[in-house]
Amino acid sequence: MKLRVGHLYPDYLNIYADRGNIAVLAARARWRGLELEVRPLAPGDPTPAGEIDLFYVGGGQDREQALIAPDLAARGPELAEAVAGGAALLAVCGGYQLFGRFYRDQSGDELPGVGLFPLHTVAGERRMIGDVLLECELEPGDRRALAGFENHAGRTYLDEGAEPLGRVVAGFGNDGESGYEGCRVGRAVGTYLHGPLLPRNAWLADWLLSQAIAHRTGEVPTFEPLEDDLEAEAHEVSARRARTRGGRY
């Protein structure tokens, strides 16, 4: 089976090795006999909405976000339709902010967003930087830990009733106050966690792959576990750092 990933703006939104998330998805797909076709989507490229099983967008500085925001907002309806149609999405940091309604950056400019996530973001004075540890429950009763690194000026405010990705155990999270991080709408996940995120959180990579397969086949597969010793160690190192120093200016 071939899965198709739409990688939005790889030349603009790719800090903290966010591109590494694609490498993890490709490797874990390959180890399971699946093929992953990655389609870079640059400004001006058409959105092959129905063909894509998983959309991915990384993080970036305010400058890069401003360069792509008009193009992203213009393809917003197609992306929202694709996700409503069952495509999965992973949006990281600056990309996550632009999948909300808007991001008011440090210069006060309001960058338009896709409006897929029920939230908005406003840049603050002090950057929220450091290791983060979350508790997530993407599937009822299946509690998992997510560890990564955050560096953002943006404070993200979820609408009443919106579903966060997780509860902050250590770190700043969406706004440094709510105690929550990220946002989830069906198969779409947004988060501030860099690192890159997926090498140290293999379960989330598998969850995204399973949602992408469900988009293609209509059924969520159950994967055989892989030998994830290295991934588990990387997770533990990151989680330990977060517990000892996360969430401090």
Active-site residues: which are they?
93, 194
Secondary structure (DSSP) of 63-117: HHHHHHHHHHHHTHHHHHHHHHTT-EEEEETHHHHTTSSEEE-TTS-EEE----S
Binding map of ligand GLN across residues 80-119, x = CB under 6 A, - = no contact: -------------xx-------------------------
Q: Is residue 59 near ligand GLN by the rule CB under 6 A?
A: yes
Extract the tokens encoding 208. 């995204």
Least distance in Å: CB of 162 to ligand GLN? 19
Q: Which of 1, 10, 15, 234 binds ligand GLN (CB under 6 A)?
A: 15
Q: Is residue 151 near ligand GLN by the rule CB under 6 A?
A: yes
Span of 60-68, 110-118, 201-209, 221-229 interacting with ligand GLN by CB under 6 A: 60-68
State which residue has the least CB distance to ligand GLN. 59
Whether the Cβ atoms of residue 147 and residue 223 lie closer than 8 Å to each other = no
Whether the Cβ atoms of residue 99 and residue 113 lie closer than 8 Å to each other = yes
With CA atoms as reference, report the closest residue to 148 among 117, 178, 177, 173.
Answer: 173
Q: Which of 68, 88, 153, 183 binds ligand GLN (CB under 6 A)?
A: 153
CA-CA-CA-CA torsion for 231, 232, 233, 238, nearest 10 degrees? 90
Give me the amino acid identity at 92.
Answer: V
Least distance in Å: CB of 39 to ligand GLN? 22
* Chain contacts with ligand GLN (rule: CB under 6 A): 15, 59-62, 65, 93-94, 123, 151-154
